[in-house]
Amino acid sequence: MLSSALLLAGGAASPVAARSQMGFSLGWHIIVACLGVGMPGLVLFVEWRGQRTADPSYRLLARRWAKALGVLFAVGAVSGTILSFEMGVLWSGLMDNYGAVIGLPFAIEGFAFFIEAIFLGIYLYGWERLPPRTHLLSGLPIVVAGVASAFFVVSANAWMNSPQGFTVIGGRLVGVDPWAAMFNPATWPETIHMILAAFMVTGFLMASVYAVAMLRGRRDRYHRLGLLIPLVLGVVAAPVQILVGDWATRYVASNQPTKLAAMEGLFRSGTHVPLSVGGYYSGDELHGALHIPDGLSLLVHLNPDGYVVGLDRIPLDVRPPVTIVHLAFDTMVGIGFALLALGIWFGYCWWRRRELPRSRWFLRAVAVSGVAAVAAMEAGWITTEVGRQPWIVYQVLRVDDAVNPAPGLSWGLAAVLAVYLVLTVATVYVLRRLARTPLPVAPQEYDVARYQVV
């Protein structure tokens, strides 16, 4: 196998390269995927308002959002495809052994994706062809299927955290109950956490576009609506997300104590465990962290006497890297609370005066909230994925045993990075072009009709 020997020179089979490639393509795709879950509902809402009120601002917003959705959905559809390939290309050991166990939610997700793609085609290209009511209705399946696909895909990830629904005898898979695998203990907290995250990312990201425009002096009704509607989605989701996040952490505490210990940078098991914020972990100790006495015991057990397992109880060879998990977790939680505070500020002003806060700092905060929400979502995924290391399937299969041993796999990482660099530049460029398409000061019906969705 001379050819293989040649490729070997380029890089041996390496779990690090495979993990980087998977993490990178997944972390990229999920941003677009969030918009695919959250945006259709907002587009339909403004289209519906536009139909009810005939307000050109709503009607133009609907068209411009729909056009952006068309681009984003296309990018999401194709950047999701490589993930399907990577399941086998990178993780053949996982699929060979457990494809039969986690395949089902993916198969169902395939249909949800079909429904999304079909109705998005009808919805976008039917803008001028279908009667208004039918057109609005044709968009509903996109909303339902988008949320459903998030549920099914994340339930497969949940199984990797809480594997169940299969019997292995002598290293051979003999019995599978795919329904039990799909509805494992991690499924509900994890899927709901992710769906809410998608709403938050969409809401804050879209609102941030209009916050930037308003900071540049465009304060007309069109821009105010463009900020207000997505922002409401984000700020409504934020407090619910904090409750769901708490639920998800409790799930981790009872089912994956190692992950919780890493999230908290906790070495010594015991009672009266403090909550540690920030810092870095080395030599079995967390340095430079802020400690809140009894905090973790209280959070996990609602009792300062609550016992929490630390890393001292976990064998060395199954401990995840702690610092990155701990800091990623703190980043997610910190941003989550900051977004909650932003929502309270907005909610208070709206309650008192029925208008946005007047301070420019509010607009500045909304302008960064989109990127912040994305960062929180990514940090959450880093927490759960790195926190599961060295397992790909918790306590069942190690990452090292799942990776494709074929030589030269790190070239794939290089190719993926190069393509995604171009893809990122192009996507950002095109979206900015769309956002910058000149707008009249007060949109008229004429401007609405002139703006082509496809």
| Residues between 62 and 101 with contacts to other proteins, criterion CB under 8 A | 67, 70-71, 73-75, 77-82, 84-90, 92-93, 95-101
| By CB under 8 A, residue 274 contacts other proteins | no
Instruction: Candidates 210-218, 243-251, 369-377, 411-419: pick the segment binding other proteins (CB under 8 A).
Output: 411-419
Structure tokens at 145: 């299927």
Q: How far is the CB of 8 from other proteins (least distance, A)?
A: 10
In terms of CB distance, is 87 or 273 closer to other proteins? 87
| By CB under 8 A, residue 171 contacts other proteins | no
Q: In the set 325, 373, 409, 448, which binds other proteins (CB under 8 A)? A: 409
Instruction: Candidates 172-180, 256-264, 270-278, 341-349: pick the segment binding other proteins (CB under 8 A).
Output: 172-180
**Residue 288 CB neighbours (<10 A):** 8
- DSSP class of 443: -
Q: In the set 268, 428, 433, 442, which binds other proteins (CB under 8 A)? A: 433
Amino acid at 303: N
**Residue 176 CB neighbours (<10 A):** 17
**Residues within window 214-273 making contact with other proteins, judged by CB under 8 A:** none
Q: How far is the CB of 3 from other proteins (least distance, A)?
A: 4
Q: How far is the CB of 406 from other proteins (least distance, A)?
A: 4
- Are 116 and 124 spatial neighbours (Cβ–Cβ below 8 Å)? no
**Residues within window 116-135 making contact with other proteins, judged by CB under 8 A:** 117-122, 124-126, 128-129
Largest CA distance in the chain: 75
- Are 289 and 279 spatial neighbours (Cβ–Cβ below 8 Å)? yes
- Are 249 and 380 spatial neighbours (Cβ–Cβ below 8 Å)? no
Give backbone dihedrals phi and psi of 103, rounded to 5 degrees, phi first.
-65, -35
In terms of CB distance, is 113 or 251 closer to other proteins? 113
Q: How far is the CB of 82 from other proteins (least distance, A)?
A: 4
Contact string 377-406 vs other proteins (x = CB under 8 A): ---------------------------xxx
Q: How far is the CB of 145 from other proteins (least distance, A)?
A: 9
DSSP string, 406-433: -TTHHHHHHHHHHHHHHHHHHHHHHHHH
| By CB under 8 A, residue 414 contacts other proteins | no
CA distances from 258 to 151, 304, 309 (A): 25, 20, 8
Residue 278 half-sphere exposure toward CB, CA atoms < 13 A: 6
Instruction: Candidates 114-122, 224-232, 349-357, 380-388: pick the segment binding other proteins (CB under 8 A).
Output: 114-122
- Are 335 and 375 spatial neighbours (Cβ–Cβ below 8 Å)? yes
| By CB under 8 A, residue 137 contacts other proteins | no
**Residues within window 174-213 making contact with other proteins, judged by CB under 8 A:** 174-179
**Residues within window 14-73 making contact with other proteins, judged by CB under 8 A:** 67, 70-71, 73
DSSP string, 22-65: HHHHHHHHHHHHHHHHHHHHHHHHHHHHHHHH--HHHHHHHHHH
In terms of CB distance, is 123 or 210 closer to other proteins? 123
Backbone conformation region of residue 165, classed left if phi is above 0, alpha if psi is from -120 to 50, else beta: left
In terms of CB distance, is 316 or 422 closer to other proteins? 422
